[in-house]
């Protein structure tokens, strides 16, 4: 029986899943967490201390193709018609991806040497990352069988999934080289609690009209599923099996997980006083998956036309049982391999780039004591984001407008075009009250009228203690 709850969970996960674009936060230099998106961001602060666990909480959700509302709207339409439409509508390019990131500790400070300005920042954050390609052909095979597609292959490469639960320890520096250029780098140690990886799959399953029998079934496959951090299948089958995921995650948070190294690089370059270019490459790194790794692969080429009867010698009637069935099972089992070797995964590399134009000197009637001389009221610009995913890179293009509303409040509006949506309007505000900074950022505001009907949504909040 199909587990109903799993089914619902699957679609909910899809609806509230996350991609990784943080287009509102990127280069928002009022907010220190923007350093995590570009280590060369010129932070407007000499010291900041993020409120533990609350300095940066980010959720980002995306599903292309359909939404949860398409399926579960109480519209009187037969549910199975909606499921069928969804299955036929979603293509192998549709993705369900998700990212959750939570700062545990985040601290940054500027050194005291005015002739050699360097900004240091370090911290720990927890990240959950999930990506799945819609497995169109395998889903169709399961949903309608092979009878409507005789002679047409089912493409097994549509199966692609990767997921990671990890803790990241990071330390970054950004150094002002001269008036124009700031460069930055951040080193990262990854400690992964769980990894799932099945991203290099290929193969086809085809049923075609046969020559020796009615149909020829051919499977030609090179598929692999890897995981680490999960209990071993053979252990689960033991009677005295015990597993405590909480202690497993706790251990991994203190560098007891699968370890890896990574690097972020960034730069900020002022073409002129008003025009600025920025760029960053994030998570160039790997994780060695060595804690209870499990690999399953299904590889080979097998053609089945049915069981061929050879009618062995008549004298043996009744005594002989040809095990053609066992032969078939043996052939298929020979294509299946399992091992517990450690493997290496690459983090999804992210790229950000932006161009920004500032304008509008503050108008003040009495004095300009509230504003620094070089602070502009407005900035407009464009931002491009790319993340490397197993099937193809995902990209997003954003135009933004930043406005200083008061000396304690700036706001940023964005419009983003990506795979999930052409109507993604985002808005963010950053408040400074005394030495406290609070920010909240959300995109896909048009979709907030009905969250369930959006293809993507992201939100981020955070609190910091800051000294100017």
Partner 1 sequence: MNVRYYLLIVFIAFLLCIGCVKEMDFDQAKDFEATPAFDASLIYFDFPALETGSRVMNVIDLPNDTPLEVLDDPQYADELESVEFTDTTRVGVFTESFFSDHLVEADVFYFFTNTTILDYDAVVYFLTDDDQVVYEVSFEVGAGSVESPAEVNFTDNFTSQELTNILNTTKIAISLEVLNSPGLASNSEGTLYFNSSGTFYFLVDAE
- Does residue 408 touch partner 1 according to CB under 8 A? no
Which residues 366-385 are close enough to bind partner 1 by CB under 8 A? none
- Does residue 362 touch partner 1 according to CB under 8 A? no
CB of 163 to partner 1, least distance (A): 24
CB of 296 to partner 1, least distance (A): 20
Give Cα 165 distance to the centre of its chain: 11
CB of 326 to partner 1, least distance (A): 7
Site track 297-336 with partner 1 (rule: CB under 8 A), x = hit? -------xxxxxxxxxxxx-xx-xxxxxxx--x-------
Q: Are strands 154-155 and 202-209 parallel, antiparallel or unpaired?
A: antiparallel
Length of the chain: 468
CB of 143 to partner 1, least distance (A): 5
214 vs 271, beta carbon nearer partner 1:
214
CB of 402 to partner 1, least distance (A): 15
Considering only CA atoms, give the Rg of the chain: 27
d(Cα 384, Cα 417) in Å, to the nearest integer? Answer: 10
Q: Which stretch binds partner 1 (CB under 8 A): 72-80, 160-168, 188-196, 289-297?
A: 72-80
DSSP helix/strand/coil, 332: helix
Where does 26-118 have alpha helices with state H?
A: 68-72, 79-89
- Run of H or E residues at 278: strand 275-289
290 vs 440, beta carbon nearer partner 1:
440
Where does 16-67 have alpha helices with state H?
A: none
Q: Which stretch binds partner 1 (CB under 8 A): 191-199, 227-235, 344-352, 403-411?
A: 403-411
Enter the DSSP assignment of 11.
Answer: H
397 vs 451, beta carbon nearer partner 1:
451
- Of 113, 147, 367, 468, the residue at the interface with partner 1 (CB under 8 A) is 147
d(Cα 418, Cα 394) in Å, to the nearest integer? Answer: 8
d(Cα 197, Cα 207) in Å, to the nearest integer? Answer: 29
Number of residues that bind partner 1 (CB under 8 A): 66
d(Cα 460, Cα 458) in Å, to the nearest integer? Answer: 7
d(Cα 134, Cα 63) in Å, to the nearest integer? Answer: 10
246 vs 369, beta carbon nearer partner 1:
369
Which residues 184-243 are close enough to bind partner 1 by CB under 8 A? 207, 210, 212-217
204 vs 251, beta carbon nearer partner 1:
204
In contact, 417 and 385? CB cutoff 8 Å:
no
- Does residue 448 touch partner 1 according to CB under 8 A? yes
CB of 441 to partner 1, least distance (A): 11
Closest to 58 in 3D by CA, of 28, 30, 24: 24
């Amino acid at each position: 029986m199909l587990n109903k709850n799993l089914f619902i969970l699957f679609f909910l996960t899809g609806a509230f899943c996350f991609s990784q674009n943080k287009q509102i936060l990127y280069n928002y230099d009022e907010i220190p967490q923007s350093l995590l998106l570009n280590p060369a961001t010129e932070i407007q602060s000499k010291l900041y201390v993020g409120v533990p666990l609350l300095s940066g909480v980010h959720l980002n959700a995306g599903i292309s193709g359909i939404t949860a509302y398409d399926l579960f709207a109480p519209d009187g339409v037969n549910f199975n018609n909606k499921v069928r439409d969804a299955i036929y509508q979603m293509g192998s390019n549709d993705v369900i991806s998700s990212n959750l990131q939570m700062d545990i500790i985040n601290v940054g400070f500027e050194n005291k040497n005015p002739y050699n300005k360097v900004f240091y920042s370090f911290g720990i954050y927890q990240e959950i990352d999930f990506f799945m390609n819609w497995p169109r052909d395998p889903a169709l095979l399961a949903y309608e069988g092979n009878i409507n597609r005789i002679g047409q292959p089912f493409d097994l490469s549509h199966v692609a999934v990767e997921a990671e639960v990890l803790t990241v320890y990071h330390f970054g520096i950004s150094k002002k080289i001269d008036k124009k250029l700031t460069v930055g780098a951040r080193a990262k140690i990854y400690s992964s609690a769980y990894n799932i990886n099945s991203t290099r799959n290929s193969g086809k399953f085809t049923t075609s009209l046969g020559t020796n029998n009615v149909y020829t079934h051919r499977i030609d496959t090179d598929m692999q599923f890897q995981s680490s951090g999960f209990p071993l299948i053979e252990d689960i089958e033991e009677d005295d099996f015990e597993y405590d995921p909480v202690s497993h995650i706790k251990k991994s948070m203190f560098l007891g997980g699968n370890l890896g190294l990574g690097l972020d690089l960034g730069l900020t370059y002022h073409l002129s006083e008003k025009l600025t270019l920025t760029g960053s490459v994030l998570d160039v790194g790997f994780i060695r998956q060595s804690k209870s790794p499990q690999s399953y692969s299904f590889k080979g080429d097998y053609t089945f036309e049915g069981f061929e009867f050879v009618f062995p010698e008549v004298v043996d009637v009744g005594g002989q049982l040809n095990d053609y069935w066992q032969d078939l099972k043996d052939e298929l089992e020979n294509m299946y391999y399992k091992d517990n070797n450690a493997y290496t995964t690459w983090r999804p590399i992210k790229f950000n780039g932006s161009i920004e134009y500032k304008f509008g000197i503050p108008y003040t009637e009495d004095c300009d004591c509230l504003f620094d001389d070089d602070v502009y009221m407005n900035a407009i610009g464009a931002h491009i984001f790319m993340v490397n995913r197993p099937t193809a890179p995902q990209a997003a293009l954003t135009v933004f407008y930043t406005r200083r509303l008061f000396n304690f409040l700036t706001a940023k509006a964005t419009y983003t075009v990506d795979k999930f949506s052409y109507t993604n309007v985002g808005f963010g505000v950053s408040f400074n009250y005394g030495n406290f900074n609070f920010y909240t950022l959300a995109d896909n505001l048009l979709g907030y009228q009905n969250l369930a009907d959006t293809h993507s949504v992201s939100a981020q909040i955070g609190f910091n203690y800051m000294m100017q």
